[in-house]
């Protein structure tokens, strides 16, 4: 009986030449995945994977490969589908919480920002949004025992900046409360309120409130205020860049040259602030850069955001790791509140009259409004800044990553 060779069967023929390059040989040395205890939290308008420091390798130099693989970076497609990142800077984060190394703290907290399409693992800044979840994680993971308390106050030492933040929030049944009636713009629904008091937040990286020793500097012909509160920040007026102050993140991304101009200013400011020696080596995460503008008298756009001069004290549109931020980083908000009190700054120049809310400054950002309080002593020194956020545990268990080395 004649048998047709298998190689002649159409459905078993090799792929066309143009497709063969996408097929890789099967790795015969398959390895089990690695895993560690972890949790996933929303903090403010961000999300991050949380680790106990005691569960990670003792040497910090061994953390980066784990974090990249856990989040799915680098991803040339920019989506981080093979990990828990979300393809935008506010979702590409890791937090490590452990025993305190500071006498005034209950826990240590290290923030890690990861690149999405590149392999950057950045320890140079703090994240004000994710710090709202650090206290709840410390309680939920039993790093900070609460017994029968109805509220917890956790003193957090941020190892990135050396600063102390007090986190106060309700507790139910020995766990951080999730339900509540407090809402923040950018997050659907309501949750338990988390109060964050940043103690002596000035000079987080540079050691001083005004790192260039000037209230304003000029970069690429644009006037800027460089200030270090929570994180080093650079504030420029939207009008000086020839744009409106109420741009959406999509508007900013689609603009012909706005992002490159802002990054050029940011990098030059980073050098003058002493963060790096040359513009190419300025980290992606700091300094932050933000455009500010006066709010309009009337709601000319008729949109959902209420950001007239009756609603907010100023408009702010911030970038985070080169991307337009969907809301405003909390550390940028803290710096805005402080800069508004510095006479002659670009921020003070757009804030007219008494504040909308006497408790602080109300910032109109891309997703809504945010009230931030800044407290100064009789000598004009910034003693603390306060902001209110929400946070929630989304899951906990074991997280897996591949060892492709």
- Residue 87 sits in a domain whose CATH number is 3.10.310.10
Residue with tokens 């304003």: 216
pLDDT of residue 315: 97
Q: Is the same domain home to 68 and 169?
A: yes
pLDDT in tens, 132-189: 999 999 999 999 999 877 999 999 999 999 999 999 999 999 999 999 999 999 999 9
pLDDT of residue 9: 47
pLDDT of residue 279: 97
pLDDT of residue 12: 47
Contacts of 274 (CB under 8 A, 6+ apart): 206, 211
First to last CA, the chain: 51
Q: Is residue 45 part of a domain?
A: yes
Q: Is the same domain home to 38 and 117?
A: yes
Contacts of 275 (CB under 8 A, 6+ apart): 124, 205, 206, 232, 282, 283, 286, 287
In 3D space, the residue among 240, 256, 254 whose CA is nearest the CA of residue 289 turns out to be 240
Q: Is the same domain home to 239 and 183?
A: no
Q: Is the same domain home to 49 and 195?
A: yes
Q: Is residue 196 part of a domain?
A: yes
- Domain of residue 264: give its range: 217-371
pLDDT of residue 300: 52
Q: How far apart are CA 226 and CA 230, in angstroms?
A: 13
Q: How far apart are CA 229 and CA 161, in angstroms?
A: 10
Length of the chain: 405
Q: How far apart are CA 346 and CA 235, in angstroms?
A: 7
Number of domains present in the structure of the chain: 2
Contacts of 128 (CB under 8 A, 6+ apart): 44, 196, 198, 230, 231, 329, 330, 331, 332, 333, 334, 387
In 3D space, the residue among 276, 283, 370, 377 whose CA is nearest the CA of residue 331 turns out to be 370
Q: Is residue 385 part of a domain?
A: no
Q: Where are the beta strands (DSSP E) in 1-45?
A: 34-43
Question: In 178-248, where does DSSP find H-type helix?
Answer: none
Please list the rounded mean pLDDT of every run of 10 residues in the chain (405 residues): 49 49 58 95 97 97 97 97 96 98 98 96 94 98 90 97 96 96 94 96 95 98 97 98 96 97 98 98 96 84 76 96 92 95 96 89 95 86 92 98 77
């Amino acid at each position: 009986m004649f048998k047709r060779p298998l190689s002649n069967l159409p459905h078993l023929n090799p792929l066309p030449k143009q497709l063969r390059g996408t097929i890789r040989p099967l790795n015969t040395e398959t390895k089990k995945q690695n895993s560690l205890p972890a949790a996933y939290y929303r903090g403010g308008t961000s999300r991050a994977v949380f680790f106990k420091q005691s569960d990670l390798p003792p040497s910090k130099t061994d953390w980066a490969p784990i974090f990249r693989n856990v989040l799915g970076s680098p991803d040339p497609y920019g989506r981080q589908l093979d990990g828990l990142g979300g393809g935008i800077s506010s979702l590409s984060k890791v937090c490590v919480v452990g025993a305190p190394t500071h006498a005034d703290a209950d826990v240590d907290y290290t923030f890690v920002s990861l690149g999405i399409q590149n392999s950057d693992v950045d320890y140079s800044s703090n994240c004000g949004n994710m710090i709202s979840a650090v206290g709840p994680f410390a309680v939920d993971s039993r790093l900070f025992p609460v017994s029968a308390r109805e509220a917890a106050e956790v003193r957090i030492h941020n190892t990135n900046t050396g600063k102390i933040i007090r986190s106060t929030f309700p507790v139910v049944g020995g766990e951080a409360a999730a339900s509540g009636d407090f809402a923040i713009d950018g997050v659907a629904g309501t949750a338990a309120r988390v109060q964050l008091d940043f103690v002596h937040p000035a000079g987080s990286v540079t050691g001083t409130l005004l790192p260039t020793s000037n209230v304003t500097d000029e970069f690429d012909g644009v006037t800027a205020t460089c200030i270090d509160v929570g994180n080093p920040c650079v504030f420029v007026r939207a009008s000086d860049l020839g744009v409106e102050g109420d741009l959406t993140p999509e508007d900013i991304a689609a603009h012909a040259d706005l992002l490159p101009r802002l990054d050029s200013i940011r990098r030059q400011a980073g050098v003058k602030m002493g963060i790096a020696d040359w513009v190419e080596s300025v980290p992606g995460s700091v300094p932050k850069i933000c455009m500010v503008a006066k709010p309009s008298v009337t709601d000319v756009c008729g949109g959902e955001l209420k950001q007239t001069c009756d609603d907010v004290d100023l408009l702010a549109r911030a970038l985070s790791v080169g991307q337009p931020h969907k809301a405003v980083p909390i550390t940028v908000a803290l710096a805005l509140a402080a800069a508004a009190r510095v006479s002659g700054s670009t921020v003070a120049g757009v804030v007219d009259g008494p504040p909308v809310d006497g408790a602080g400054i109300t910032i109109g950002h891309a997703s809504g409004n945010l009230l931030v309080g800044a407290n100064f002593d009789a000598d004009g020194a910034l003693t603390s800044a306060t902001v209110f956020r929400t946070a929630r545990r989304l899951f906990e268990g074991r997280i897996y990553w591949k060892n492709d080395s």
